[in-house]
């Protein structure tokens, strides 16, 4: 965990959370893919991605972001789903997930079946992000222990985001 915390704070002077920090957290709980998305004028932008192709990321942004059932579930309960690590099974049923257009198009072909995600809302004017980790369909679902480890990193991710934003604001003046 010390290595992860160091990587999170090392990225404070960067534009966004470093791929090294994301990859460290991904590897700690056996995820095969991870990505960091940010709001943009066109919907969302992938700021970092590990284990997911550029083509799959582009397809998601272009065709599925607006109809993604997990994203819609987050929107339906914003106060209860920000800064909290949640699994896809916490938000929608397995049938809803595996029957969704986004899963059918990108899930098994991209080897994505189980998700652990959070909407990071750091406050203090810092921009929000969505950080997601994935396991293949044939792998086990993320456990409570997996969620707890991820949840323990969230305060550091939020603090680093606020620091990054404050530094950018000061440099802009």
Please report the pLDDT score of residue 135 as a whole number. 95
Pairing of strands 114-120, 43-50: unpaired
pTM comes to 0.87
Q: What is the CATH number of the domain that holds 127?
A: 3.30.450.40
Contact (CB, 8 A) for 35 and 66: no
Contact (CB, 8 A) for 72 and 88: no
State the Rg of the chain over Cα.
15
How does pLDDT run across 119-139, given as a tens digit for each residue? 888 777 777 888 899 999 999
How does pLDDT run across 69-104, given as a tens digit for each residue? 777 776 666 555 678 888 888 888 999 999 999 999
Range of the domain at 33: 2-172
Number of H helices, E strands in the chain: 9, 5
Q: Looking at the 3D structure of the chain, how many domains does it have?
A: 1
**Which pair of structure tokens corresponds to residue 12?**
């404070």
pLDDT band at residue 18 under the 50/70/90 scheme: confident
The span from the CA of 2 to the CA of 17, in Å, is: 16
The span from the CA of 139 to the CA of 144, in Å, is: 15
Mean pLDDT taken over the chain = 86
SS (H, E, C) 31-77: CCEEEEEEEECCEEEEEEEECCCHHHHHHHHHHHHHHCHHHHHHHHC
């Amino acid at each position: 965990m010390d290595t992860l915390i160091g990587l999170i704070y090392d990225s404070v002077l960067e534009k966004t959370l470093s791929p090294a920090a994301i990859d460290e957290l991904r590897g700690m709980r056996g995820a095969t893919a991870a990505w960091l998305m940010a709001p943009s004028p066109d919907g969302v932008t992938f700021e970092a991605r590990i284990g997911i192709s550029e083509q799959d990321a582009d397809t998601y942004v272009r065709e599925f972001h607006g109809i993604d059932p997990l994203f819609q579930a987050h929107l339906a309960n914003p106060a209860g789903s920000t800064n909290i690590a949640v699994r896809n099974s916490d938000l929608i049923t397995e049938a809803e997930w595996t029957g969704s257009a986004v899963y059918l198009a990108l899930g098994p072909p991209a080897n994505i079946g189980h998700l652990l995600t959070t909407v990071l809302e750091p406050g203090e004017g810092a921009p929000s992000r969505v950080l997601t980790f994935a396991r293949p369909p044939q792998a086990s679902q993320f456990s409570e222990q997996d969620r707890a480890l991820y949840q323990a990193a969230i305060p550091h991710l939020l603090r680093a985001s606020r620091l990054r934003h404050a530094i950018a604001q000061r440099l802009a003046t």
